[in-house]
Structure 1
Amino acid sequence: MKARVTAHERYAVADIDPRLYGSFLEHLGRAVYGGIYEPDHPTADDNGMRGDVLELVKELDTPVCRYPGGNFVSAYNWEDGIGPKDERPSRLDLAWHTVEPNHVGIHEYADWADKAGIDMMLALNLGSRGLDEARAFVEYVNHPGGSYWSDLRKKNGRADPWNVKMWCLGNEMDGPWQVGHKSATEYGHLANETAKALRAFDRSLELIVCGSSHSDMPTYPEWERTVLEATYDNVDHISLHMYFENYEKNANNFLALSEKLGRYIDTVSGTIDFVKAKKRSKKDVTISFDEWNVWYHTRKQDLSYLHGTEWRFAPPILEDVYNFEDVLMVGSILNTFIRRADRVRIACIAQLVNVIAPIMTRTGGGAWRQTIFWPFKFASHHGRGTALRLSVDGPTYDADAASGVPCLDIAGVHDADGGTLTFFAVNKSGAEAMEVDLALDGFGAAKSVEHTLIKHDDLQATNTEDNPDNVAPRKGDGATLDGGKLALTLPPHSYSMIRVQL
């Protein structure tokens, strides 16, 4: 198979917001307890946070992390997570049918985020609670002092405010599974009134309103229109969520789901434009895609736990073990976000540790990189700069999600300051190698090219504690440079990163 790609210095999508490579931690399973927090672990610090996990999080270089949910937040009392740990109440978490001891709250999470070099993105409970609790939480976190909540923060050991800018106005409020589920009209009114109150406190906050939980929701995309018409003047982003499944074990159909993702983004972008035009507004609202990942390996059996009668602490649920095929899917998802960087400004992989995550741990034991760690790391490290609008001409195939799915999934990023071009390429064909002619126009002389390849002969190959590098990047030999043109050879079912020094 052959494909032709042209990258031109003047044909840009947008500057990429680094928060496109954000992450997510929820009080769910072993994401927090047994994930980032394990006081008895040999690497734990004075706050009980695992040092080995922290180092892997730093390696990902994820700039922002959404917390504490997720479905968990819709019945969460943030006040339970402050003050002396031995005085904090244990609660029943209705979202995941577990016992929550509140050993980790805003103080512990904030200290961990600071050590990890991560900005906090905090979610507010607009399910079982509402405006008053939201404004109290923001005051506790962000006000310097001289008020009840800020002085309580000081009493609890934190003198300076954290100055968190990003706040989610609830979570998946369109979902009947959500505690405090509301109609679009009900939620739009509550979200707008909450946003107005938070704006009265600080107009510089970035507020994120709930969009659809996925594009198959019966209320999508009418939900977006109704909610945005109610909140447009007072919010900055609308959140979208999507998880990717392959129950039928069909690689072609699975990898085509990135086309469905693209349609989802385009439809909501069009809805934003409609509301903007209807309101005669000059303001732009963008997308925060703050939950996404492959999720199906353990989903059905683990969610059956929610229908039981047992209430457990941090049960090991939703611990998908990712394979090489998932590398190709995650690479395609990230490429889609890069290609739509003008619309998608924030995105959060769900989740960060143990629960459908790039990092896995064993309680009392090691921590290792799952297969999907690698494409996320590469995009996070090298996908910063300006997203390029590539011209791509190549073979396609038809799948359940879409017709004319490109066999070559490619995104390009120009880092003008670093003098580099980076291309992330997935060959979705399992039958043939892809020969790619890639023209570089307007960038000046190219000095060198480097090819990094992730390839395994077994789509089901995984990484384990005993074999953590079974699926891992290696130096590729499929890229050559001749003047202003690149010649690429991409093996069947492979992920490649090609970096050009200008």
Structure 2
Amino acid sequence: MPRARLVLDAAFALAPVPRRLFGSFVEHMGRCVYTGIHEPGHPTADDAGFRGDVLELTRRLAPTVVRYPGGNFVSGYRWEDGIGPVADRPSRLDLAWRSREPNEVGLHEFDSWAREVDTEVMMAVNLGTRGLQEACDLLEYANHPGGTYWSDRRIANGSTDPFGYRLWCLGNEMDGPWQIGHKTAYEYGRLAAETGRAMRLVDPDIELVACGSSHAQMPTFGAWESEVLTQCYDTVDYVSLHVYYSEHDGDTDSYLASAVDMDGFIEAVIATADAVRARGRHTKTIDLSFDEWNVTRPSERGGDDLARQAPWALHPRLGESEYGIVDAVVVGTMLNSLLRHGDRVTVGCQAQLVNVLGLIRSEELGDAWLQTIAYPFEQMRRLARGSILQVVASSDHQDTARFGDVPVVDATATYDAETGTAAVFVANRSRTEAARLEVDCRGLPVGRLTAATVLAVPDGTPVDLTNRDRHDAIVPKPFHGAQLDQQILRADLPPLSWTVFELARPAA
């Protein structure tokens, strides 16, 4: 049986838990918006056409920030198409996804939806086919109180109060050859610097995210971040990271170790940003916005191949992965990676919220449900409070083809001094063996194990089971195999599982 030991001490805290770390992403892609969050003909739809069942599931997940409207989509988007009377809005070709965009959901509709789910909006501007002036116009429309052309247009369109968006993305994946209007690092860095400076003249309180390289396997990776930040370091607050992991050639063990690669990715970007800081003698520190991340798995139901879809269709099925327990464990470890780097990764957006690699799946005129990957997300968003603890961990290892020896057990923990509660998030990567866990909590003022849950495949169930046909097939269940004695927590973790422990002060 593999073994792992963790030591937790309240005196060794990394940073406060950044609340924006638990965000998501809504892009005008596939069925994320149309028949995802918005479907006027659905039995649960409200007067604005938003699906009530998806709304309730989103409230349950409670993402703290939602990035919008893209993604690749934003690099060809004319934001003005989505304001004013819906009947007067143009239908456009979406070149990013070879679809037709009806613009039935635009800025006002999305803002209303975001307020309904009580989330912050992270707005992206088009630096592919457009530039500085259009970005400033959008910012004026969204944030200026009134008395100017664009702010008065917003008021005339029904929103007297400004939207007040603080967090803005300066384009999307601009080093990708697939990106509409993609640029060299120097071109993009200069454009980001000029656009960001102008936007700060409109609203000095905004926070700006510069595009990092599209992913760590890009030939531009590293050099891109260095050049872009050299051009715009003083203008921006964050640099972005994007990653998607998937299983290759049946190599499940490497897939389960993906977060080891994610750790290295984050640390490489931190090192690059800090090198630019030192070289430029800057005084501030650039944080990281991991504003696209998830796992991908081809749908068995087809329709995912962009090249094969009927061109210019409305909301075609794209990227509609169906997830099982393996994917949920990988997502749990990716959340652990984000949390253990929460001193520098202070924004995170799981991509995407609905249907397209979704935490939530929905069917047109049908039902909606949470996918397996939604549960680690919801648990960490809800329970990670206070400070991120520096977990001193030792674990037996297992060999993987892609990432070498990796720990069988992956864990993070938080402690909230105000409430006297702690949470421990643990993944067992072994597909066949339980893992014996010991957590030394003597450095924490806790004396009670108040709850423990485990996400795993029920006994006798195929490992590829999903929640499509029975929506509660794989959900967190009470875990009875743990005990806290003399402030030592002991448990045998089931194979291929995600387990969460909640601890509290001793009873009075």
**Aligned to 1:398, what secondary structure does the other structure show?**
strand
Residues 300 and 43 of structure 1: CA distance in aligned 2, closer, same or farther (over 3 Å): closer
CA distance in 2, matches of 1:261, 1:238: 16
Residues 299 and 68 of structure 1: CA distance in aligned 2, closer, same or farther (over 3 Å): farther
State whether structure 2 residue 173 is matched by structure 1 residue 172: yes
Q: 5+ unaligned residues in a row in structure 1: which ranges?
A: none
Letter in 2 for 1:238: V
State whether structure 2 residue 432 is matched by structure 1 residue 428: no
CA distance in 1, matches of 2:401, 2:237: 34
1:488 to 484, 491, 503: 491
1:463 paired residue number: 467
Residues 232 and 324 of structure 1: CA distance in aligned 2, closer, same or farther (over 3 Å): same
Residues 334-360 of structure 1, C-alpha deviations (whole Å, 9 max, x = no match): 011111101110010100011100101
Contact 2:297 2:323 in 1 (8 A): no
2:260 paired residue number: 259
State whether structure 2 residue 12 is matched by structure 1 residue 8: no
1:500 paired residue number: 503
Residues 54 and 268 of structure 1: CA distance in aligned 2, closer, same or farther (over 3 Å): same
The alpha-carbon deviation at position 191 of structure 1 amounts to 0.4
1:128 paired residue number: 129
The alpha-carbon deviation at position 404 of structure 1 amounts to 2.5
The alpha-carbon deviation at position 42 of structure 1 amounts to 1.2
CA distance in 2, matches of 1:168, 1:147: 24
Contact 2:425 2:501 in 1 (8 A): yes
Q: Please report the RMSD computed on the Cα atoms of aligned residues, expressed in angstroms.
A: 1.4
CA distance in 2, matches of 1:385, 1:34: 37
The alpha-carbon deviation at position 393 of structure 1 amounts to 1.0
The alpha-carbon deviation at position 248 of structure 1 amounts to 1.6
Contact 2:73 2:94 in 1 (8 A): yes
The alpha-carbon deviation at position 445 of structure 1 amounts to 4.1
The alpha-carbon deviation at position 203 of structure 1 amounts to 1.9
Residues 358 and 301 of structure 1: CA distance in aligned 2, closer, same or farther (over 3 Å): same
CA distance in 1, matches of 2:229, 2:195: 14
State whether structure 2 residue 43 is matched by structure 1 residue 42: yes
Letter in 1 for 2:500: M
1:283 paired residue number: 284
State whether structure 2 residue 470 is matched by structure 1 residue 475: no
Residues 98-133 of structure 1, C-alpha deviations (whole Å, 9 max, x = no match): 000100000000000000001111000000000000
The alpha-carbon deviation at position 397 of structure 1 amounts to 1.9
**Aligned to 1:404, what secondary structure does the other structure show?**
strand
Contact 1:169 1:210 in 2 (8 A): yes
The alpha-carbon deviation at position 204 of structure 1 amounts to 1.5
Name the count of aligned residue pairs: 501
Q: 5+ unaligned residues in a row in structure 2: which ranges?
A: none
Q: TM-score, normalised by structure 1?
A: 0.98
Matches within 5 A, 1:75-154: 75-154=76-155
The alpha-carbon deviation at position 240 of structure 1 amounts to 0.5
CA distance in 1, matches of 2:429, 2:475: 18
Residues 445 and 379 of structure 1: CA distance in aligned 2, closer, same or farther (over 3 Å): closer
The alpha-carbon deviation at position 299 of structure 1 amounts to 10
The alpha-carbon deviation at position 477 of structure 1 amounts to 1.2
CA distance in 2, matches of 1:88, 1:406: 54
**Aligned to 1:500, what secondary structure does the other structure show?**
strand
More displaced 10-residue stretch of structure 1: 399-408 or 291-300: 291-300
Contact 2:75 2:179 in 1 (8 A): yes
**Aligned to 1:109, what secondary structure does the other structure show?**
helix
**Aligned to 2:410, what secondary structure does the other structure show?**
strand
Matches within 5 A, 1:284-433: 284-298=285-299, 302=303, 304-306=305-307, 310-433=311-434
The alpha-carbon deviation at position 177 of structure 1 amounts to 0.1
CA distance in 2, matches of 1:288, 1:276: 17
CA distance in 2, matches of 1:301, 1:431: 31
More displaced 10-residue stretch of structure 1: 185-194 or 391-400: 391-400
Letter in 1 for 2:319: L
CA distance in 2, matches of 1:350, 1:371: 15
Contact 1:145 1:151 in 2 (8 A): yes
**Aligned to 1:234, what secondary structure does the other structure show?**
coil
More displaced 10-residue stretch of structure 1: 182-191 or 441-450: 441-450
CA distance in 2, matches of 1:230, 1:296: 37
Residues 53-72 of structure 1, C-alpha deviations (whole Å, 9 max, x = no match): 10000000111100000000
The alpha-carbon deviation at position 444 of structure 1 amounts to 2.2
**Aligned to 2:142, what secondary structure does the other structure show?**
helix
**Aligned to 2:233, what secondary structure does the other structure show?**
helix
1:218 paired residue number: 219
Residues 212 and 299 of structure 1: CA distance in aligned 2, closer, same or farther (over 3 Å): farther
**Aligned to 1:328, what secondary structure does the other structure show?**
helix
CA distance in 2, matches of 1:214, 1:83: 37
**Aligned to 2:314, what secondary structure does the other structure show?**
coil
2:71 paired residue number: 70
Contact 1:72 1:96 in 2 (8 A): yes
CA distance in 2, matches of 1:176, 1:147: 38
**Aligned to 2:343, what secondary structure does the other structure show?**
coil
CA distance in 1, matches of 2:81, 2:446: 59
Contact 1:445 1:483 in 2 (8 A): no
Letter in 2 for 1:460: D
Residues 401 and 383 of structure 1: CA distance in aligned 2, closer, same or farther (over 3 Å): farther
The alpha-carbon deviation at position 309 of structure 1 amounts to 5.9
2:53 paired residue number: 52
Contact 2:245 2:296 in 1 (8 A): yes
Residues 426-481 of structure 1, C-alpha deviations (whole Å, 9 max, x = no match): 000122211111101332241334210111153211001x4101111110112101
